[in-house]
Amino acid sequence: MTGPSGASLLLANTTITKKLEDDDLAYVQQRAKNRDYEWQVVWRNVLAFVYLHIAALYGLYLSFTGKVQFGTILFAIFFACISAMGVTAGAHRLWAHKAYKARWPLRVYLALMQTMAFQNHIYEWVRDHRVHHKFTETDADPHNAKRGFFFSHIGWLMVRKHKDVFEKGASVDMSDLEKDPIVMFQKKTYLVLMPLLCFIIPAWIPVYCWGENAWISWYVASITRYTVTLHFTWLVNSAAHIWGNRPYDKNIGATDNKTVAICALGEGWHNYHHVFPWDYKAAELGNYSTNLSTALIDWAAKHGLAYDLKTVSADMIRKRINRTGDGSHPWSKASLET
Ligand code: ST9
Ligand code: ZN
Ligand code: ZN
Q: Which of 81, 153, 166 to probe ligand 1 with, by most ligand atoms within 8 A of CB?
A: 166
Q: Whose CA is nearest to atom 35 of ligand 1?
A: 124
Q: Is 246 close to ligand 1, i.e. is its CB under 6 Å away? A: no
Which helix (H) or strand (E) segment holds residue 149: the answer is helix 149-153
pLDDT of residue 295: 96
Among 265, 257, 221, which residue's Cα sits nearest to residue 81?
Answer: 265
Give the angle 294-299-302 at the CA atoms, nearest 5°. 125
Q: How far apart are CA 28 and CA 271, in angstroms?
A: 38
Q: Is the dihedral of CA 300, 303, 304, 307 positive or negative?
A: positive
Measure 277 CA to ligand 3 centroid, in angstroms: 6
- For residues 279 and 311, the answer to whether their CB atoms sit within 8 Å is yes
Q: Whose CA is nearest to atom 46 of ligand 1?
A: 157
Q: Is 118 close to ligand 1, i.e. is its CB under 6 Å away? A: yes
Q: Name, in order, each residue with C-beta under 8 angstroms of 204's C-beta and a sequence gap of 6 or more.
A: 217
First to last CA, the chain: 72
pLDDT of residue 30: 53
Which helix (H) or strand (E) segment holds residue 118: the answer is none
- For residues 245 and 270, the answer to whether their CB atoms sit within 8 Å is no
Q: Whose CA is nearest to atom 26 of ligand 1?
A: 160
pLDDT of residue 16: 45
Q: How far apart are CA 90 and CA 86, in angstroms?
A: 5
Ligand nearest to the CA of 240: 2
Burial label for 209, CB within 10 Å (0-12, 13-18, 19+), is: exposed
> pLDDT (tens digit, 0 to 9) for every residue of the chain, 338 residues total?
334 454 454 444 444 445 545 555 655 555 555 555 677 999 999 999 999 999 999 999 999 999 999 999 999 999 999 999 999 999 999 999 999 999 999 999 999 999 999 999 999 999 999 999 999 999 999 999 999 999 999 999 999 999 999 999 999 999 999 999 999 999 999 999 999 999 999 999 999 999 999 999 999 999 999 999 999 999 999 999 999 999 999 999 999 999 999 999 999 999 999 999 999 999 999 889 889 999 999 999 999 999 999 999 999 999 999 999 999 999 887 666 65
Q: How far apart are CA 46 and CA 257, in angstroms?
A: 29
pLDDT of residue 160: 97
pLDDT of residue 287: 87
Q: Which residues of 214-247 are buried (b: 16+ CB within 10 A; e: fewer)?
A: eebbbbbbbbbbbbbbbebbbbbbbbbbbebbbb
Q: Is 92 close to ligand 1, i.e. is its CB under 6 Å away? A: yes
Q: Whose CA is nearest to atom 33 of ligand 1?
A: 166
Q: How far apart are CA 309 and CA 337, in angstroms?
A: 35
Q: Whose CA is nearest to atom 54 of ligand 1?
A: 157
Measure 29 CA to ligand 3 centroid, in angstroms: 33
Q: Is 229 close to ligand 1, i.e. is its CB under 6 Å away? A: yes
Report helix, strand or coil for 102.
Answer: strand
Count of H-run helices and E-run strands, the chain? 17, 2
Could you tell me if residue 200 is left (phi over 0), alpha (psi between -120 and 50 degrees) or otherwise beta? Answer: alpha
Q: Whose CA is nearest to atom 42 of ligand 1?
A: 166
Measure 133 CA to ligand 2 centroid, in angstroms: 7
Q: Name, in order, each residue with C-beta under 8 angstroms of 306's C-beta and a sequence gap of 6 or more.
A: 100, 101, 102, 103, 106, 297, 300
For the chain, give the number of residues.
Answer: 338
- For residues 92 and 233, the answer to whether their CB atoms sit within 8 Å is no
pLDDT of residue 335: 62
Q: Is 96 close to ligand 1, i.e. is its CB under 6 Å away? A: no
Beta strand segments in the chain, E: 101-102, 306-307
pLDDT of residue 39: 75
Measure 238 CA to ligand 3 centroid, in angstroms: 14
Q: Whose CA is nearest to atom 19 of ligand 1?
A: 264
pLDDT of residue 2: 39
Q: Is 253 close to ligand 1, i.e. is its CB under 6 Å away? A: no
- For residues 221 and 202, the answer to whether their CB atoms sit within 8 Å is yes
Amino acid at 154: I
Q: How far apart are CA 103 and CA 112, in angstroms?
A: 15
Q: Is 16 close to ligand 1, i.e. is its CB under 6 Å away? A: no
Closest atom, ligand 1, to C-alpha of 263: 19
